[in-house]
């Protein structure tokens, strides 16, 4: 028997215009957490999709217990004991928790002795047992669409565990989880390790890697850099290996000088009594206003209300000294307000369209000849200008956006809004699921926009990001604004004090 439950050797994979993997290797030991790290675009997810049968390798071999295997598709991978929780969740919202967990492998029974049908009683009983095993308090019959993003991610983890896998791939599993849910996940991982399951753990969160990982493999630009014992590494060492250079400062020097008030909110209250209420704040020209708070603080809901996605009952919005009415997103866009949503896949990119389409879609009306015909040359110039300004890494503007890394997708979305030349940008978790190198590029873009006089509202769940990027920080708790902290005086302690100030 091999000491490895699974090995990948000599793996290469190309897409039109780009070589995603170049002679990559990965070796997984049973009962170990193997962290897979690298910048966005390093090839981590592509390698895992080759292992899981989503992509076909151009070259390379997969061994299980020392024997060569061929994986035809994800169902074949599951049958061979390989399960995967994807970074971008794809649940079926209209179906129940139990139906999502056992999708494609429902327990069956025969009615009248010969008609096959789903055994719902067994499915829900098995789901209840499974949820109890992984310490998740969900109703097996609840519709997944009624759950929060973090709860959906927990269901996906339970689904992977239910397959009794020998290899479990977790791609950014904590990106949408609360601190308590992260602890619950780590308990599940430790239970699986004790059962001999090999776990591939992809994350950009260094503290998690150093805490939960046993071994670390680092990739860069589609190539294998090396494998180390996690105990041998530090955060600085990992970053240097990932990006190929030392990052002496994680945040750029900011040269913005906040000016007069350009955006003001007074007594803003949601139509939902359990959401944001009595919110008031000011935003200055050239200011980066961070918005902090714990999960459930209603930060996203507030910003969606200001952008016209959610309804409100009372409150006023003032823009450049004049009251404006925002009842739908178009009203906000027409006033020069833009919003980058936190769900890049669900409400950001249009995956089946090209980079060019995704950048230009919100500003095509500015490039019409005679009011009817789109001027293709002007649109292409707009796209090329944004690709250059945002430093978007793409084979061409015609490349489908879904084939880009998460960091480059995010830069495309920023470019989309900048094409409208807004004065106020609302950025909801702008660096979620993005590696340290791409984060720095996003930070530089934000800092440059503020220097140019753009006003930025930035929601972030990362304390260091709030402190490192904000001129001021507005903290929310349970739908209310509980305090403001000057950026120069911000600490994790005073932010958390406000973030836990329940009524």
Cα-based distances in Å from 30 to 64, 165, 199: 11, 11, 8
Q: What is the mean pLDDT of residues 125-154?
A: 83
What are the tens digits of pLDDT across the range 342-363?
777 667 788 788 888 888 887 8
Q: What is the mean pLDDT of residues 26-36?
A: 96
Q: Which residue has the higher pLDDT, 33 or 154?
A: 33
- Decide yes or no: CATH 3.50.50.60 for domain 6-243: no
- Burial of 249: CB neighbours in 10 Å, binned 0-12, 13-18, 19+: exposed
Q: What is the mean pLDDT of residues 115-124?
A: 92
Phi, psi angle pair for 320, to nearest 5°: 55, 40
Kindly write down the DSSP assignment for every residue of 37-70, as one continuous string: E--TTSSHHHHHHHHTTSS--SEEEEEETTEEE-
Closest by CA position to 173, among listed 164, 160, 192, 163:
160
How many angstroms separate the CA atoms of 446 and 417, rounded?
13
> What's the pLDDT at 324?
95
What is the signed CA dihedral for 232, 235, 236, 241, rounded to 10 degrees?
A: 70
pLDDT band at 247 (very low <50, low <70, confident <90, very high): low
How many angstroms separate the CA atoms of 114 and 136, rounded?
36
What are the tens digits of pLDDT across the range 145-154?
888 776 787 7
> What's the pLDDT at 503?
64
Q: Quick one: tokens of 56?
A: 């076909």
> What's the pLDDT at 439?
81
What are the sequence ranges of the domains in the chain? 6-243, 346-421
What are the tens digits of pLDDT across the range 395-426?
888 888 888 877 788 888 888 888 888 899 99
In sequence order, the 6+-apart residues with CB closer than 8 A to the CB of 124 are 98, 140, 141
- In the numeric block, the tokens 């956006």 are attached to 401
With pLDDT > 70 as the criterion, what percentage of the chain qualifies? 95
What are the tens digits of pLDDT across the range 311-335?
999 999 999 999 999 999 999 988 9
- In the numeric block, the tokens 């305090």 are attached to 483
With H, G, I as helix, E, B as strand and everything else as coil, classify residue 256. coil
Cα-based distances in Å from 60 to 51, 56, 337: 11, 10, 49
Closest by CA position to 379, among listed 357, 411, 408, 404:
357
> What's the pLDDT at 393?
82
- In the numeric block, the tokens 């209840």 are attached to 128
Closest by CA position to 452, among listed 285, 263, 262:
285
With H, G, I as helix, E, B as strand and everything else as coil, classify residue 226. strand
> For residue 283, what is the enclosing H or E element?
strand 279-284
Count, in order, helices (H) and strands (E) of the chain.
17, 24
> What's the pLDDT at 216?
96
Whole-model pTM: value is 0.63
How many angstroms separate the CA atoms of 276 and 309, rounded?
14
DSSP 477: E
How many angstroms separate the CA atoms of 157 and 150, rounded?
11
How many angstroms separate the CA atoms of 28 and 18, rounded?
27
- Whether pLDDT at 74 is above 70: yes
Closest by CA position to 37, among listed 228, 252, 251:
228
How many angstroms separate the CA atoms of 324 and 5, rounded?
62
> What's the pLDDT at 105?
84
Phi, psi angle pair for 435, to nearest 5°: -75, 170
Closest by CA position to 426, among listed 373, 474, 496:
474
């Amino acid at each position: 028997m091999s000491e490895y439950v699974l090995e990948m050797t000599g793996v290469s994979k190309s897409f039109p215009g780009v070589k995603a993997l170049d002679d990559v290797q990965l070796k997984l030991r049973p009962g170990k957490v193997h962290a897979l790290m690298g910048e966005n675009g390093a090839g981590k997810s592509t390698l895992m999709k080759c292992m899981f049968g989503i992509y076909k390798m151009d070259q390379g071999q997969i061994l299980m217990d020392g024997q060569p295997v061929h994986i035809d598709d994800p169902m074949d991978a599951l049958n061979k004991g390989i399960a995967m929780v994807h970074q971008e969740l794809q649940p079926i919202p209209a179906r129940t928790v139990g139906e999502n967990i056992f999708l494609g492998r429902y327990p069956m029974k025969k009615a009248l002795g010969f008609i096959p049908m789903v055994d719902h009683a067994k499915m829900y009983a098995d789901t209840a047992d499974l949820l109890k095993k992984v310490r998740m308090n969900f109703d097996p019959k609840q519709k997944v669409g009624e759950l929060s993003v973090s709860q959906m991610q927990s269901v996906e983890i339970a689904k992977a565990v239910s397959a009794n896998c020998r290899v479990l791939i977790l791609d950014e599993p904590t990106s949408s989880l609360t601190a308590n849910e992260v602890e619950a996940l780590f308990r599940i991982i430790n239970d699986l390790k004790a059962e001999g399951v090999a776990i591939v753990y992809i994350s950009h969160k260094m503290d998690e890697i150093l805490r939960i990982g046993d071994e670390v493999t680092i990739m860069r630009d589609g190539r294998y850099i090396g494998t180390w014992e996690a105990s041998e590494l530090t955060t600085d060492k990992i970053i240097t290996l990932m990006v190929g250079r030392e990052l002496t400062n994680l945040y750029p020097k900011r040269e913005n000088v906040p000016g007069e008030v350009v955006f003001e909110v007074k007594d803003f209250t949601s139509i939902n009594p359990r959401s944001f209420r009595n919110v008031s704040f000011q935003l200055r020209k050239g200011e980066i206003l961070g918005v902090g708070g714990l999960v459930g603080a209603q930060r996203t809901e507030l910003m969606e209300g200001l952008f016209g996605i959610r309804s409100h009952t009372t409150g006023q919005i003032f823009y450049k000294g004049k009251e404006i009415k925002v009842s739908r997103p178009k009203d906000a866009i027409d006033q020069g307000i833009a919003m980058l949503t936190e769900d890049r896949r669900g409400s950001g990119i249009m995956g089946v369209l090209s980079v060019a389409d995704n950048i230009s879609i919100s500003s095509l009306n500015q490039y019409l000849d005679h009011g009817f015909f789109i001027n293709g040359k002007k649109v292409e110039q707009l796209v090329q200008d944004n690709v250059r300004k945002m430093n978007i890494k793409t084979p061409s503007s015609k490349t489908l956006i879904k084939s880009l890394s998460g960091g480059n997708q995010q830069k495309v979305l920023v470019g989309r809004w900048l094409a409208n030349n807004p004065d106020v940008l609302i950025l909801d978790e702008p660096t979620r699921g993005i590696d340290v190198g791409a984060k720095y590029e996003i930070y530089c873009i934000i800092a440059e926009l503020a220097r140019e006089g753009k006003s930025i509202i930035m929601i972030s769940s990362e304390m260091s990001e709030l402190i490192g990027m904000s001129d001021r920080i507005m903290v929310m708790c349970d739908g209310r604004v509980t305090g403001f902290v000057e950026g120069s005086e911000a600490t994790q302690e005073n932010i958390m004090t406000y973030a836990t100030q329940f009524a």
